[in-house]
Every structure is written in C-alpha cells, then in structure tokens.
Structure 1
Amino acid sequence: MDRRDLLCRGAAAGTLALAGCLGGDDPAFTDGFESGLDGWEPAAAIGPEVDLADFDWEVAVSDAQAASGDRSLRIWNEGDYDDGVTWATRPVSISTDGTSRINVTAQFWSESESFNTLRDAVMRLGPERPAAEADFPDPGLNTSALRETPYGGLREPLWLADGWREYTFEWTLPALSTDQLYLSVGTSVIWEGDAEHYVDEVAVETHSS
C-alpha cells in the first residue's frame, strides 16, 4: 500500500495524515487532494500598483491532472501585470520537539518544457501564514542551502519539464514554541500570459539531529 492509499483511507475516515498516523518511516504529513481542499485556504497577492480585485486567479481541486490518484490542486492566474502570486495554505500539526530539520516535497505540473519561464513554483512552511508575496522566498532561493531561518521554502522556475516535476526544500528549524505550522504551495507570475499549473503529492518529513 503506497502513501496515497494511506492518505485516502485516512481521509475517508475523516482524519488527517499527520505525525504518528502513518507510522514507520512515512512522512509526518501528506496530501494528494483526493478529498478536496480539506483545510487548504486559497489566497493571492500582488504589488501595490495593482488592486488585488483586478488580479484574476483560481485555486481549486481538479481531476484534469494527477501525479497519482485521481485529483490534484489546480492553480491558475493571469499574467497581464507581470506580477502576483497565488497559493493555498493549510495548518499542519507536526511535533517539533527533537526535530532539527524538515523536508517538504511536492509535484508540480507544467504544460510543457520551455526556455521561457512564465511562472515560479513557491513553497513555504513556517509558524505563520503568508499574507504577501514578500512572505515567500526571493526568486531562485531555496532554504536547503541555508542554516536556521524563520521559515523554510523555495521559489524556483516552472516549465522545466513536460508534465510533472518534483520540487523540494529543507528547513533547518530555529527554536519554536508551537507545533502548528502553516504549509503553502503556489505559483508566482514571472512573465505576461495566463498560466495553469497543478500540484500533487505534497509531503512533509521530519528529521532529528
């Protein structure tokens, strides 16, 4: 039985695949969006030159693409302003006691491989929800290369593969006073043109020192 099957059984029983639920070496948290948004909250932000109401974006679960299972998270946004980020966030309860590092992975789908990067993938895990584009890492940054940071994440180009491609980051934790963290996945506008992407197989793994 793979982790998607475990996730689906947990979702069917009305539970989340959180720390201790999967056991063994399985991730502390996984989600493949088989049960819908299930705690994920869509959001978007754009620079001060544009009213957010004028920025068109969509976040929803779809069966049009899936890395495994039948569904994934569809993220669409317009590119008219060469700016803006669209994401979904959910709380995850992960014990940070004795945890020094956390790895987060997700599969992102692009329509094709292209030399023109229309979007960046953005991912974030931290003790607070992101509220603005500045709350995500700068372009090209992945916290895997850093020591302790207030939050973990990445912002890296999409369109590097035709179809699904894995994105991952490592976060070296600072001292935290909470076990509730906020996980976010989304896309950031780089170039003019509307673009659609999908996210699937989100996983969080904890590691002790």
Structure 2
Amino acid sequence: MDGTLDTARNSSEELWLQAAYEVLTESGVEAVKIQPLAKRLGLTRTGFYWHFKDREALLDAMIRQWEMKNTGNLEARCAAYAESICEAVLNLFDCWLDDALFDSRLDLAIRNWARTDPALQARLTLADDRRKHAMMTMFTRFDYPVDEAEVRALTMIYTQIGYISMQVQESRETRFSRMRAYVQVFTGRNPTDAEMARFKARHQAE
C-alpha cells in the first residue's frame, strides 16, 4: 500500500514539474506561478503544497532536474568508453541528438532565467565549468595537451550554445550530413567509416 502511495505521490509531483517546465520553456520563469499551473493541470492550488513547500521549491526542483539531466548526461557521455577521440566526440554528440539525454529548450530557458537571477547564474557558471572539465578530460585522455584541450572544449561549448541561443532549426538529415565535418573541426582528425556507421546506427540514421 505504501509503495502505491509513494508512486502516486511521485507521479503527481512529476505532473507539476512537467507543467512548470512547459511554462518555463514557453514563456519564461516569470510565468511559472502556482495558480495558473493548477488551472493548467485541472488540480487545486492546495494540492501543490503536498509536493512543494512553495514556488521557490518548485523552481529549485526544476534547476536540479536540469543539472542532473543536461550536465550529468553530458559528463557521462564524455566519459563513455571510446577507442579514439573521434569516437569519444561522437559519444558526446549523442546529447545533441537525443532529447532524453540533453534538453536544449530547457538549457535555453535556464540561460535566459539566469540573466536576472544571480544565484542561478552562479549555478549555471558551475555547470558550464563542469561541462568544460568533462570535455577537456575527454581530449587529454587521448593525449591532447591541456591548453589545446581547453580550446577544443570551448569551441564545442560555444558552438552548442550558439545552436541553442539561435534556436537553429535543421532536419536530422542535414545535421547528420555535417557530423563528420564537425568531428574533423573539433578534433583535427578524421573519423573512420566504421565510427560513423556505429554512430548513425544507434540513432537509426541512414
């Protein structure tokens, strides 16, 4: 019985988080308010307080979710097994193609929010530092000098932030057609046909 109650509680909490996420990514943090969320969900305002102490607790839960998903998954992909730097970078590219690993809309919303929230800006800076460290470590693992690893990591970070902030729209076919060249630019090396084939296979691309 207790397990059933816990499941129901967690599911309901996820409903509030999902609704808050949708509003955040659509309209910004100022629009994330308890009463409109309750109306959106068809639930009572009182129900909100079964799951969150207040609005700030809800906002913090979203930030923690962003940290765990976007930064945590990026770190994991950088550390994933690879036989070459090209394969390692392709592992990282999984984040840019799979919303389950990295949510670009949420990343943009967090960056916009941080412009007016110094505390969040500090957490964003820490997250970007973690991402940079993960990418640098990926390069130094394959014997790139530290200074060069930093520049290559920053090049990838700035490219992805550019994609996110400019809200670039391109088909999967177009994106996949550019992947080999991106790997060449970021690593200075040419991925093998086998590496590209494995990468495309796990994304079910031609």
Determine if the TM-score, normalized by the shorter chain, exceeds 0.5.
Answer: no
TM-score by length of 2: 0.22
Larger Rg: 2
TM-score of the pair, normalised by structure 1: 0.22
Which structure is richer in relative contact order (CA contacts within 8 A, separation 6 or more)? Answer: 1
Task: Return the structure number with greater strand share.
Answer: 1
Q: Which has the higher helix share?
A: 2
